[in-house]
Structure 1
């Protein structure tokens, strides 16, 4: 029994480090040497993850004019405690998610601070008040000075994916602030490459023997982190790793596995629909974030495979609005057999729908009646802490009414 326990402990704590050593030599050099940041040498757009410079200009203009629904979205942000300048960071050297039998979990400290770094960054970009810029970078500097490892049990993979992509988004916003020194930004980038990237990369490429073992959200959060780190660190190889997995990966983050069955009526059944609706909604949040970040860099994954993601979103929205949808039994390689769609957490209100609605309906002019209605139902969207004090309330950055709303015909 003790031997089994030690094996599990070793695999949980040290495999990500051992696998990271197998990364190509150029990446290995990058982890130990200061990053040479030269915006003229990169083909990436900055800021270029969930939000671009044009998006921030729109937010700023609309809020200043008191225009709805942007103003209501802004009020959601400013009333959230995570955007307060009184927020105090709680950095840790090791973050534990998942009980390993030895260490208590402390990952809530990380996801709360990530939410605060992001919310403060948004407040700075929209208001221009540098006090929020300083608040955001102080949080990120505190963590980059201490964090060395993500540990626990297999759930540490979720921490790497979820908080990896969210932290990278906060940093991508703040890289435009002249008060964030080049050395501090470089240290944050090294943390992302050394602590988060190896776990993301290892999970996507090596951990899954039976690729149906993990539900779609496991793949998707790590794909989001890979893509976000690739942009933040100007690493095209990491970025391409994420894009390639979306199109051709063996696991459930592959769009054709995530929306694994398209019904005759055009609705696309989501891979986790037979599990519960809370995780299905998380899939909408993560796939939406992935597509939006790629869109900012000129890659249209929203439209990939005849708008396959939209078909999945319409399926999920219709069912969670209380309407019937067709369902085919889902079986994976471990023998999980889900013969009916799950009603658990039906009607979940995660802040994920503004992004999907505005892209497909307002930007592309496509019909998405169920997505449109769901977005209206949850508007204005809040952020971390507005929906739950538990981890599920921080699995997405939120504030989509402020950040994603477009003018009609835009």
Structure 2
């Protein structure tokens, strides 16, 4: 490797938030209606989340109970799961004739220019995840074997990522690899110990050093994706120090990406950066001068990159929940406001002149299912505009970067 940036610190004891609250305001819609209800103090306070004593597998984005629910719905021909499954099966990512294209050095410049293995790596990682899902839902071992072939090919070959987009490229690929590996390793007996160990070595030596320290001055979707990937790798490797570091950095980054009026007159700058004055924050937030609940640091850049960040946030929260640490109560207001805020403009609401000069670049992407299921279906928060957008986009497919098949895996999933 040309890099050696792995630096792990001891986990912080987090003591932010209103530690003495005994009630919480639970939002009832995207529009902002609220109701105060009594809840245990532990659900309100931001608390320390440490790596579990025993990890749950498979437990990166999807769990076995979730997968069992999906399989039962697809086998019953129920919608929207059957339609989502058919969509996945029609994708080239599910093809049994796929030939992996590993490289020793993946070189990715800004916007993948140059693109020396960037698309191949991302799509092979997504294909491994797609094939793992296909194996579990459909029960055909050929798909598990094809996933193994792809993972083994890359783990035997890749040594490094280079050029300016190396951290983001590594994060996108390393968000998908552990999802695939968790399903195959813990639900299929055909992956050799040699293959499993070599794959783990790849995650630890090639990907983790590239992403674990984050990137404080980049647009927020970078660091959020980097922490999603770090967390997934940590679960697969059962690496508690990396897990704790990912959670701490994720919590630091979240209020620098999604704004709530309770944060103050303007958003916080990213921890580890020198962005702290109002003028610096306005510049970092792409020139936006007025701040309202749910605005993202990248809203005025474009909705697509905003969607990357929102997706990574929901993926982190889902993985933490599978590991027995539900962070949704802590982040639900920030996340539900962001979803509702962006959904209404995707659905065609007029854009005020005070928002991004009255002009938005839309295209949020297939990124709402996980958070909508968690907040609306599991936590009972009415999210009218988010629901409208989510249902309009079904079945949610893939963005060919790190998001794939989330109507299939998370629509109405009670687990």
Measured against the shorter chain, the TM-score band is 0.7 to 0.9
The two structures have a TM-score, normalised by structure 1, of 0.78
In the alignment, is residue 256 of structure 1 matched against residue 255 of structure 2? yes
CA distance in 1, matches of 2:212, 2:324: 23
Q: Which residue of 1 aligns with 2:4?
A: 18
Greater RCO (CA < 8 Å, at least 6 residues apart): 2
In the alignment, is residue 395 of structure 1 matched against residue 401 of structure 2? yes
CA distance in 1, matches of 2:342, 2:373: 17
**Aligned partners of 2:106 and 2:116 also within 8 Å:** yes
**What secondary structure, in the 3-state scheme, does the structure 1 residue paired with 2:59 have?**
coil
**What secondary structure, in the 3-state scheme, does the structure 2 residue paired with 1:96 have?**
strand
**Structure 1's 75 and 236: CA in aligned 2 closer, same or farther, altered over 3 A?**
same
**Structure 1's 395 and 94: CA in aligned 2 closer, same or farther, altered over 3 A?**
same
**Structure 1's 143 and 217: CA in aligned 2 closer, same or farther, altered over 3 A?**
same
Structure 1: stretches of 5+ with no match in the other structure: 1-12, 25-40, 330-338, 384-392
How do 1:3-402 residues align onto structure 2 when only pairs under 5 Å count? 14=2, 17-20=3-6, 43-98=54-109, 105-152=116-163, 154-176=164-186, 177-202=188-213, 204=214, 208=215, 211=216, 213-247=217-251, 249=252, 254-262=253-261, 267-305=293-331, 307-324=333-350, 340=357, 342-344=359-361, 346=362, 348=363, 350-383=365-398, 393-402=399-408
**Aligned partners of 2:105 and 2:162 also within 8 Å:** yes
**Structure 1's 327 and 290: CA in aligned 2 closer, same or farther, altered over 3 A?**
farther
The two structures have a TM-score, normalised by structure 2, of 0.77
Q: Following TM superposition, by how much is the alpha carbon of 1:406 offset from its aligned partner in structure 2, in angstroms?
A: 2.0
RMSD: 2.7
CA distance in 2, matches of 1:76, 1:219: 31
CA distance in 1, matches of 2:114, 2:298: 31
CA distance in 1, matches of 2:172, 2:333: 25
The count of residues paired between Structure 1 and Structure 2 equals: 345
CA distance in 1, matches of 2:385, 2:351: 12
**What secondary structure, in the 3-state scheme, does the structure 1 residue paired with 2:78 have?**
coil
CA distance in 2, matches of 1:56, 1:104: 34
**What secondary structure, in the 3-state scheme, does the structure 1 residue paired with 2:197 have?**
helix
